[in-house]
Structure 1
Amino acid sequence: MLDGHSAAALAFTRSLGRAGHWVAVGSNQDIPAPAEVSRYCRTSFRYPVSTDDASGFVESVLEFARNHPIDLIVPMTDWTILPLSKCRDRFQGVSRLALGPHSALEISSDKYKTVLLARERNVPVPETALVQSLADLQGARKFAFPVVVKDRFSARWLGKRAVLGSVTYAYSQDDLRQKVEQRLCEAGDVLVQEFIAGTGIGFASFAVDETLHLPFQWLRIREVDPRGSGSSARKSIPVTPEFFEFSRALITRIGFQGISMVEFKQHGSGHAVLMEINGRPWGSLQLPIASGIDYPRYLVDWYLEGRLPPRAIDYRQGVTCRRLVSELAHLEHVFAGAPLGWPTPYPSFLMTLLKISVPWYPGMCYDDVWLSDPRPGVAGLVHWFWRHFAKPKTERSGTASRTR
């Protein structure tokens, strides 16, 4: 497993370790990696940060795979998937890579190509303008404020290094111009997108040829950042035909194979609007596992034994899964309050505190905190509290500004 800092890597490590697989965890240098302290991790290694040294990262993973009996390498994030995908030929005869087709990964990682694909397949998507110069902002004047300013890629490689993507909001024309100008200098182009209010809905599946196996759907209860981010708590719900058909239209069109998730917003009318496609393991992967769909095991069986996953599983609905450190981050954002000009109701700090303070109720579980495997959860909490209370104040402020 790569990206040992990620929630997806921890879910994979626990799932496959419990199934009896020998699991090694790789992680960036000098970053906490909860998955590597799991009882199910047999060994671990560190590699150069892929976004700083893509070739060094690939060489490190390749060397580890050559020196150990590694049957399958599973990257979890865009930061590791894309460098490996570009060098997949070098791993032939060494180890298999759990990667979809390179062409499919290129489309799913490109947010503007995803928008164009959605329009082609008649999947609702926010109004979006590709801005390559300040003159292109004329096309975004019809959008009501706030508008979303986001990079076209989560990571865009320029040579061996990557420009990391960001998502911000602009609340006026001057604010928009300033933020777009900054991203143009950094990345060369940027997307300006209408703001969509609504509830976050996720749809996951396992694509084999043109068939979607193991459909699964969930509702976001809380997001780490209430303005929009990954979820800190979410609940399994029934698969609905609209989300299934939209996802199938997108996934089969790009030719993706393996596990993926499609993110939507469901606005007040009840209809779906596409947010993005993740052609990779996702952060809330523990929820389908807890609900009865063990995607990691099915993925490994498919890659190593050619065994097809079931078409569908009658999974448990109403299961809630939380990530404790993300819940604390959510509470921190709520305490800071809504930005001036925020258009939708913002969570109440007191009500949020009360909800998060309930440690357990029937049907609830955790991504990170397990009594049977306590070290990853403890490590995550220790790092969170150290980062907030033990670091020098100036260093904490710098970290916060970089991660917002």
Structure 2
Amino acid sequence: MTGGTKLRILVTDGDNRSALAATRSLGRAGYHVAVAHHHHPALASSSRYCRARIQTPDPQKDPEAFCTAIVEAVRTHRLDAVMPMSDITTLTLARAMQDGLLDCRMCAPPLDKLEAAADKRTTLELAMQLGVPVPRSIVLEQHRDAERDLDLPYPLVIKPARSRVWYKGKWLFNAVSYARTPEELQATLREFVPAQFPVLLQERIEGPGVGVFACYDRGRLVALFSHRRLREKPPSGGVSVLRESVPVDPAADAHAQALLGALAWHGPAMVEFKMDQRDNSLKLMEINGRLWGSLQLAIDAGVDFPRLMARIMAEDNVTPVLSYRIGVRTRWLWGDVDSILALFLKSREELNLPPDHPGRWRTLLDFLVPWSRGLRYEVLSLEDPRPWIYESRHWLFPKRSKSH
């Protein structure tokens, strides 16, 4: 299938903002887009560019039934390709393709490469082999390993090697947490079940995040992008709610390409670093082998990852997109509201704010500016308003949304 053929594409995880960005991008380009989720309407399936809604079981609760539903949807809707938007759906569908259950295209590397990228201990070891700087780290195989002298300064970052683990019939989400004292560390580790180990303990790196966003076509780099986070949810660091396109940091670019090259990567990936303010050196945080929540910013700046991925899956000749507009901003408004509320409802200590955080009132002043040059809103679109209406209703009336 070559020569610019328009694939029929299934986008999963319909309530993700990345799914909405992909649905809009592909739909505007003339692709037939179906959206899969465990309830409808969902954020992406509310879009005018969604041509079909696919109801599936929740992949977090029953990945096998989810996979069966996707296989059936591909067959009955005559879909050519699937574009997963989360770690769980990416790994689940990659496993189905490896086992010969799913007969369609997916812009992702083989399962073993995805699993290597998803395992923070594996990426830490790979980075050290390649000379990519990493935070000082200790790997705990079990809870009692933390009883020895750790030789790391507090506060510590507690980072399970895998963000998601399958345990007793469900997925556990392993969030990054912090410990200011040995007692806090022990209390946190006691809450972990054996499946959540190994756990990485790392020194906390103070400084701005630096991300490299890339897409590869069977080991060949075809897209590169970077942004800086201006505000996050939670405020101490997490999901970006206001961000701006910036030139790719040369050192981050070199490190990211070394890592992804060693993995013989195929498809999208996000490589995250932090700039250590002690010596202005980059330290690797993690690799995510999928599209990311702030995808809309890259599209607005001129790097349309979903369309590039569609062309790769169609086996078209893809011209690399390595330049883009600098200074473009996107804002996720309801996420920004959550972030500012957290600042006023919790203390600096509860939020684990870094010393250089501007604080409540400075952040509030910036928050109250509704528009600036180059600013776009991520979900809100006058040309496609239904996703914004859907998201606003679910933010304002969360109890009602739980009925889905």
Q: Would you say same fold, with TM above 0.5?
A: yes
**Matches of 2:102 and 2:54, distance apart in 1:** 21
Superposed displacement of residue 93, structure 1: 7.5
**Matches of 1:171 and 1:112, distance apart in 2:** 23
- Map of 2:124 onto structure 1: 115
- Map of 2:248 onto structure 1: 239
Given candidates 319, 330, 338, the residue that maps to 1:329 is: 338
Given candidates 362, 365, 384, the residue that maps to 1:351 is: 362
Superposed CA offset, 1:235-289 (max 9, x none): 1111232111000010011121012111111122332111111111111111111
- Map of 2:52 onto structure 1: 43
Superposed CA offset, 1:333-363 (max 9, x none): 2112312675523342222222122222211
Secondary structure of the equivalent of 1:183? coil
What is the identity, as a one-letter code, of the residue corresponding to 1:359?
P
What is the identity, as a one-letter code, of the residue corresponding to 2:373?
P
- Map of 1:287 onto structure 2: 297
Runs of 4+ in 1 over 4 A off after TM superposition: 89-93, 340-343
- Map of 2:141 onto structure 1: 132
User: Is residue 151–residue 183 contact of structure 1 (8 Å, CA) maintained in 2?
Assistant: no
User: Is residue 134–residue 181 contact of structure 1 (8 Å, CA) maintained in 2?
Assistant: yes
Superposed displacement of residue 195, structure 1: 0.8
User: Is residue 26–residue 46 contact of structure 1 (8 Å, CA) maintained in 2?
Assistant: yes
- Map of 1:301 onto structure 2: 311
- Map of 1:339 onto structure 2: 349
Distance 1:93 1:164, change over 3 A: closer
Count of aligned residue pairs for this structure pair? 389
**Matches of 1:216 and 1:320, distance apart in 2:** 13
**Matches of 1:265 and 1:140, distance apart in 2:** 26
**Matches of 2:379 and 2:136, distance apart in 1:** 36
User: Is residue 129–residue 140 contact of structure 1 (8 Å, CA) maintained in 2?
Assistant: no
**Matches of 2:237 and 2:188, distance apart in 1:** 18
Secondary structure of the equivalent of 2:78? coil
Give 5+ residue unaligned stretches, structure 1. Answer: 396-404
Give matches, 1:5-404, under 5 Å. Answer: 5-29=15-39, 33-89=42-98, 94-138=103-147, 141-158=150-167, 160-185=169-194, 187-268=196-277, 269-304=279-314, 306-335=315-344, 336-339=346-349, 343-387=354-398
Give 5+ residue unaligned stretches, structure 2. Answer: 1-10
Secondary structure of the equivalent of 1:219? strand
User: TM-score, structure 2 length as denominator?
Assistant: 0.91
Secondary structure of the equivalent of 2:291? coil
User: Is residue 256–residue 279 contact of structure 1 (8 Å, CA) maintained in 2?
Assistant: no
**Matches of 1:90 and 1:68, distance apart in 2:** 22
What is the identity, as a one-letter code, of the residue corresponding to 1:19?
A
Superposed displacement of residue 331, structure 1: 0.8
Superposed CA offset, 1:153-172 (max 9, x none): 12112475322212211111
Superposed CA offset, 1:115-134 (max 9, x none): 11111111111122221223
Given candidates 12, 17, 26, the residue that maps to 1:2 is: 12
User: Is residue 142–residue 194 contact of structure 2 (8 Å, CA) maintained in 1?
Assistant: no
User: Is residue 138–residue 150 contact of structure 2 (8 Å, CA) maintained in 1?
Assistant: no
User: Is residue 62–residue 91 contact of structure 1 (8 Å, CA) maintained in 2?
Assistant: no
User: Is residue 54–residue 160 contact of structure 1 (8 Å, CA) maintained in 2?
Assistant: no
Between Structure 1 and Structure 2, the one with more helix by share is: 1
**Matches of 1:20 and 1:311, distance apart in 2:** 21
Superposed displacement of residue 188, structure 1: 3.8
Superposed CA offset, 1:175-231 (max 9, x none): 101111211446243222211111111111121243322221111111111222111
**Matches of 1:152 and 1:354, distance apart in 2:** 38
**Matches of 2:311 and 2:148, distance apart in 1:** 48
**Matches of 1:176 and 1:191, distance apart in 2:** 12
